[in-house]
Structure 1
Amino acid sequence: MRRTGTTRRGALTATGAIALGAVLAGCGSDDEGGGRTGSARADARTAADSSSTRQAEASLRKKAVGVTASLLGQYENVLAAHPATAAGLAPLRDAVRAHVKALSPAKGASLEFVRTRPAGGPQEAVRALAAAERRAAASHTAALLEAPPELARLLASVAAAASAHSYLLTELAKETKA
């Protein structure tokens, strides 16, 4: 025998339909008097917000590029000082180079590195790279809080890669002969 009357499913469906109608009714124009002044103010506010957003994004990108370029310089220095580590470090270095290019606001920006000799042997140099990758991951993760959505996704990806690199470098340091 079929039940008649109001069921729980019917009541929830009706409540959902009423809520959806209220939301859609609230999505109208902000113009109260039919004039364009409210719209002009909203356009000016949007332009100012997008300008400040672009400046904040440029600042975050510049900082992220600096951190990643410094890391790339450390890779170059370790590879120059300890060529025996090239097999393990070259793929990671290439990934860091790709991160610099992805984060760079200006396409085709040139990178310059300060050549320094890493302290200690290859094992200590690889450990230092692992620590640098952890610092880079922490820096990119901290920048997520202020980043606009598109940049936040990129920073999260780069931070995740830096964490993975740190793990791989830690394991590589265990295998590297002193």
Structure 2
Amino acid sequence: MRRTGTTRRGALTATGALAMGAVLAGCGGDGGTEGGGGTAHTGAQAAAVRADRALRAAAVRTGAGLLARYEAVGKAHPTTAAGLAPLRAATEEHLKALAAGAGKKQSLSFVRTPPVADARTAVKELAAAERRAADAHTTALMTAGPELARLLASIAAASAAHAYLLTELAKETS
């Protein structure tokens, strides 16, 4: 006796075909559809690009401030230069990666740094600045686009690691 009606296999096949059709219909838009739908989509993209640029500019300012602090501590306390050199270099690379979207080379001349205290205190303050930078990058990545969010997450993780290493360096600094 042959079974009649809808089988499980037939239902799954039909559901899959409908889902695939819906996905393909959604992906087929070229932004120039009638009724202004493309304009709204383009407007949303432009707003997202502007938001990412603003987030990137803020991250560049944070990175430039951090790099200026490394410079100030290194100049004021040459004994810490060897311990700060790799962290400073990494911070400079982060700044370059962030500034790549801006199209300008960053100048540190606009950054004001607080006066540098004794070596131990200066390194502790640098660790605190790295923690603040990690927090700022983490907060910013929540609203960033996917590409910028990945970059900010990576830089935030590096800043957190730098903060730890600087805290340990401060313990060893006399």
Q: Shared topology, TM-score over 0.5?
A: yes
Deviation at 1:92, TM superposition (A): 0.4
8 Å Cα contact 1:81-1:117 kept in structure 2: no
8 Å Cα contact 2:141-2:153 kept in structure 1: yes
Which residues in structure 2 correspond to 1:1-178 (within 5 Å)? 11=8, 16-29=12-25, 38-39=33-34, 41-104=36-99, 105-113=101-109, 114=112, 117-119=115-117, 121-177=118-174
Deviation at 1:66, TM superposition (A): 0.7
Deviation at 1:103, TM superposition (A): 0.6
Structure 1 CA distance for aligned equivalents of residues 12 and 80 of structure 2: 62
Q: Which stretch of structure 1 is more off in the superposition, 105-114 or 74-83?
A: 105-114
Deviations 1:113-134 (A, max 9, x none): 4465312x11111111111000
8 Å Cα contact 1:78-1:117 kept in structure 2: no
Deviation at 1:44, TM superposition (A): 1.2
Deviation at 1:37, TM superposition (A): 7.9
Equivalent residue, structure 2, for 1:33: none
Deviation at 1:16, TM superposition (A): 4.7
| TM-score (normalised: structure 1) | 0.81
Number of residue pairs matched by the alignment: 162
Deviations 1:77-135 (A, max 9, x none): 0001001101100110111111111111323413124465312x111111111110000
* Structure 1 gap ranges (5+): 31-35
CA RMSD of aligned residues (A): 2.4
8 Å Cα contact 1:101-1:107 kept in structure 2: no
Structure 1 CA distance for aligned equivalents of residues 113 and 134 of structure 2: 23
Deviations 1:53-80 (A, max 9, x none): 1110110001111111111111110001
Instruction: Pick closer, same or farther for the CA change 1:49–1:85 going to 2, 3 Å.
Output: same
Structure 2 CA distance for aligned equivalents of residues 135 and 80 of structure 1: 22
Residue identity opposite 1:161 in structure 2? A
* Structure 2 gap ranges (5+): none
Structure 2 CA distance for aligned equivalents of residues 16 and 170 of structure 1: 58
